[in-house]
Amino acid sequence: MRKFFPVEELARDERFNKITMRDRMGDPRTALNVSNDAPAKRPTNLRLTPDRSDASDGARSLMHGIFVGEIQALEGAGRTCWDFETGTEAPFALKLDMARQCWDEARHVEISVKLSDWMGGEIGQYAENTVLFEAACSTDPVLRLAGVNRALEGLAIDVFTTMKEFGDLAGDPYLEFCEDWMLADEVTHVKMGSDWLRKITEHDPDRRKKALEFQSVVDKLFSYGGTRSESQESPIGLARRFRELAGFTDDEVDDIAQLSMQALNERKSAVAQARADQMRDAAAQFATSAAAE
Amino acid sequence: MTVSVTPATFSYVAFDAELIRSIAAGLLAALGMADHDVTIDVDETTPLARISCTIDESIHVHVDSGAFEDTRKPRQQSETATATALGRVLLRARDRLVGGFGEAPPDKELSLAQVAAWETYCIGRLQRFGVPVNQQRWRYNFRNRHGFSDATDAAFEQIWTSDGLTWDQLNAISESAAASAHA
């Protein structure tokens, strides 16, 4: 069986349509209110709660994102069991943790399919962003743990907390219950990543630094466009309490909060600039045609 | 009947104004609204999926690009999504114009539960007109707004299968479902 599987070759049936982060970044649209438009035109609070007028559609879309995320997390943890030599590249106990994670993720995939069905969604209804698996393609197991277990599974903690609260507020007993159970597993996965990162790099500060830098890049990618931050403009919040339980220090959570806000503000600036450019081009075009007349 | 779509060409999304126009024209004919003029204004700068309309001598539809989008292929248009979004807003317009909905509050004053009930009523009829619909999607939305209970599901079925409701009847079913769920 081949090692280090490329993201382009992930097996999916005809129901799925894979897109990359590049595709997503190429979408010039945004739900963010960057021009002080009236709230009726562009809402300033985009947090996914039941009182949003499009709450059901938003929750269904996020549920599908969780579903494909679980598939890719399963694939990533599975690859970590196989891609590295036991003992020389990765300790057996680390692989055992990854095998346990595979079992959890497989169960989460099944739960997510059933929840999607319950919410009126269908498998493959939304595009699958493969950025999660891309974070699992590093050739260094420590970087992979930082990218997958700490950044990706950390995002999962934020997403599950948002969805659990959504289920609680909407009175949806299945959603709240299932998200709560999956959240408990995700906290464990992040904890495994945090523990192994510290243990393996205990005497290798350079490698630890590199891993944490990689995690930081992945965290920012996952916050792209302000999808996840402490601002109410982001659909997904930052679950500080559960991140603490998962082994993140206060400083680390603060760093992620800052990175997320940075991603949100960069996106807003980029959109505002694009709008200004568009207005300038339209004005120039109008001036040219007026002069010609 | 005239249907006009703005913008005529799209730059943020790969939508086809003529396709939107022809779907709207087809729906107007099918819904017995061929004597109405319609303007459709698409905000292609946002991926949100909101849709609303105002009525004067014409029907003016305001829609975010996400409402017409193929969710499998971002920025591409979906004929089914376009028909579903336009169909539900045109049915609401028809209800207000001829269907015993004179007592209904303006759109901006409707509660989330009232909106969900009215959308259920529209989508149920739309399905009978032949537009492909995932009923569970709308049942989940109705439950989110009325509570998760057997009474809510019974109310949903009643609204979904109805054809000649007035606003007062629709609102009464919605209120009764919400009260039962929260009792």
Q: What's residue A75's pLDDT? A: 95
For residue B91, what are its two tokens? 């049915």
Q: What's residue A38's pLDDT? A: 66
Q: What's residue A293's pLDDT? A: 73
Q: What's residue A264's pLDDT? A: 87
Q: What is the CA radius of gyration of chain B?
A: 16
Q: How far apart are CA A91 and CA A202, in angstroms?
A: 14
**In chain A, beta strands by DSSP E:** 18-19, 128-129
User: In whole numbers, what is the pLDDT of chain A averaged over residues?
Assistant: 90
Q: How far apart are CA A124 and CA B1, in angstroms?
A: 38
Same domain? For B7 and B65 the reply is yes
CATH number of the structural domain spanning residue B52: 3.30.2010
For residue A112, what are its two tokens? 């997510």
Q: For A42, which residue in chain B has the nearest alpha carbon?
A: B46
- Report DSSP letters for chain B, one per residue: --EEEESSS-SSSB--HHHHHHHHHHHHHHTT-TT--EEEEEETT-----EEEEESSSEEEEEEGGGGB-TTSTTBB-HHHHHHHHHHHHHHHHHHHHSS-TTSPPGGG--HHHHHHHHHHHHHHHHHTT----HHHHHHHHHHHH-SSHHHHHHHHHHHT-SS--HHHHHHHHHHHHHHHH-
> Which residues 49-68 of chain B have a CB within 8 Å of chain A?
49-50, 65
Contact A29 B138 (CB under 8 A): no
List the domain range (segments joined by +) for residue A195: 54-292
Whose CA is closest to B74, among B145, B12, B160, B155?
B12
For B148, the closest of A24, A29, A173 (CB atoms) is A173
Beta bridge partners of B61: B40, B53
Contact A60 B140 (CB under 8 A): yes
Q: What's residue A41's pLDDT? A: 67
Q: Examine residue A71 and state whether it is found in any structural domain, yes or no.
A: yes
Residue A167 parent element (H or E):
helix A153-170
Beta carbons within 8 Å of B22's beta carbon, 6+ residues apart = none
Q: What's residue A39's pLDDT? A: 63
Q: Examine residue A130 and state whether it is found in any structural domain, yes or no.
A: yes
List the domain range (segments joined by +) for residue B174: 107-181
For residue A201, what are its two tokens? 């790099």
Q: How far apart are CA A201 and CA A109, in angstroms?
A: 32
Q: Is B48 exposed, middle or buried (0-12, 13-18, 19+ CB in 10 A)?
A: buried
Q: For A19, which residue in chain B has the nearest alpha carbon?
A: B73
Whose CA is closest to B69, among B81, B55, B57?
B81
Candidates A22, A33, A57, partner chain B, best to mutate (most B CBs within 10 A): A57
Same domain? For B13 and B68 the reply is yes
For B134, the closest of A19, A29, A122 (CB atoms) is A122
User: What total of structural domains would you count in chain A?
Assistant: 1
Whose CA is closest to A170, among B140, B109, B155?
B140
Domain boundary pick from B98, B120, B135: B98
Same domain? For B75 and B56 the reply is yes
Q: What's residue A135's pLDDT? A: 87
Q: What's residue A10's pLDDT? A: 94
Same domain? For B83 and B125 the reply is no
pTM: 0.91
Low-confidence ranges of chain A (pLDDT < 50): none
SS3 for A108-135 is HHHHHHHHHHHCCCCCCCCCEECHHHHC
Q: Examine residue A21 and state whether it is found in any structural domain, yes or no.
A: no
Contact B46 A53 (CB under 8 A): no
Same domain? For B122 and B88 the reply is no
Q: Examine residue A30 and state whether it is found in any structural domain, yes or no.
A: no
User: What total of structural domains would you count in chain B?
Assistant: 2
DSSP A148: I
Low-confidence ranges of chain B (pLDDT < 70): none
Q: How far apart are CA A171 and CA A50, in angstroms?
A: 10
Same domain? For B112 and B94 the reply is no
Q: What's residue A284's pLDDT? A: 79
CATH number of the structural domain spanning residue A59: 1.20.1260.10
Q: For residue A90, give the 3-state DSSP assignment.
A: strand
